A and B are shown apart, each in its own frame.
Chain A
């Protein structure tokens, strides 16, 4: 879920998640920001169910695909994405042809393969979505 968020947060650009509770805590941004803790009840986007407070994924990244939109985030997604930064960097370098993933991870675990597959499929989905939007806009 966090892996997919890393793609859709970037795709949504300026419309993506901007955590009010992180902004309230001065100094968090300077520390590579974002609390990572559970959401407060009083956030404008937050909702509650029997498992606690959550924010629907479509409020995290408004311009996302259907699969991602059904996820429920229970803590700041930016903090999670920051923790995944080394893996996302390795994926980007692999995609740009700088070096193959097997150089960075000679014995990948199932989890790493899963992360890379999720990044790949969500990137493809985001690219298709952007292309479709451009075609739609050019018609209007």
Chain B
């Protein structure tokens, strides 16, 4: 990792999402694009691809996004369990199966908090879509549902990449 982020929260970049019909790429190219943000990593990006303009978050904007999502009332037990959960899908399912009911509720509440953080991050970072001022509520109208979820996920990854150092970097 080196300089794959923006130093100023006044700067913004254009990105596309890989579930766009005007974008063609392999799974490997998709991973590389999400990691670097370089359009050249993708196989085909046609001119009619939807361009999202996003900016890097400042510390104050990140804090505000977390506060709006309910950072002060989030479940600390859920956060702890979330950090302890195994990465492997099967192991994670077995681990979750053994949790008590209140622990499952705490995990679920923390997952909901994370989802709200993602939406609030996009609200703070999304500048425009195809040159027109945009809001996160417009993303909620994307259909079909898998495309909406993937668009939000990819936007969050790009915002994190340009705003924050990755986990590996800390």
Within 8 A of B (CB), among A75-122: 79-81, 83-84, 87, 105-115, 118
- In the complex the two chains form, is B1's CB within 8 Å of A110's CB? no
Does A1 count as interface, using CB distance less than 8 angstroms? yes
- In the complex the two chains form, is A84's CB within 8 Å of B58's CB? no
Within 8 A of A (CB), among B148-169: 162-165, 168-169
Chain B residues whose C-beta falls within 8 Å of the C-beta of A126 in the assembled complex: none
12 examples of A-B residue contacts, CB within 8 angstroms: A1-B170, A2-B2, A79-B2, A80-B2, A83-B2, A105-B8, A107-B58, A109-B163, A110-B59, A111-B56, A111-B162, A115-B165
Please report whether the interface of chain B is mostly helix, strand, loop or mixed according to DSSP: loop
Chain B residues whose C-beta falls within 8 Å of the C-beta of A1 in the assembled complex: 1, 168-170
Does B9 count as interface, using CB distance less than 8 angstroms? yes
Chain A residues whose C-beta falls within 8 Å of the C-beta of B8 in the assembled complex: 105-109, 112
- In the complex the two chains form, is A109's CB within 8 Å of B169's CB? no
- Which residue of the partner chain A has the closest CB to B56? A109
| Residues of B in contact with A, size category | 20 to 34
Q: Chain B CB within 10 Å — which of A1, A80, A109 has the most?
A: A109
Q: A80-B2, A110-B58, A110-B163 are in contact. Are A3 and B9 (CB under 8 A)?
A: no
Chain A residues whose C-beta falls within 8 Å of the C-beta of B1 in the assembled complex: 1-2, 80
| Residues of A in contact with B, size category | 20 to 34
Chain A residues within CB distance 8 Å of chain B? 1-3, 79-81, 83-84, 87, 105-115, 118
Within 8 A of A (CB), among B56-91: 56-59, 62
- In the complex the two chains form, is B3's CB within 8 Å of A109's CB? no
Chain A residues whose C-beta falls within 8 Å of the C-beta of B6 in the assembled complex: 109, 111
- Which residue of the partner chain B has the closest CB to A114? B165
Does B7 count as interface, using CB distance less than 8 angstroms? yes
**Closest CB of chain B to A51's CB: distance in Å?**
11
- In the complex the two chains form, is B57's CB within 8 Å of A110's CB? yes
- In the complex the two chains form, is B7's CB within 8 Å of A87's CB? yes
Q: A84-B3, A111-B56 are in contact. Are A3 and B169 (CB under 8 A)?
A: yes
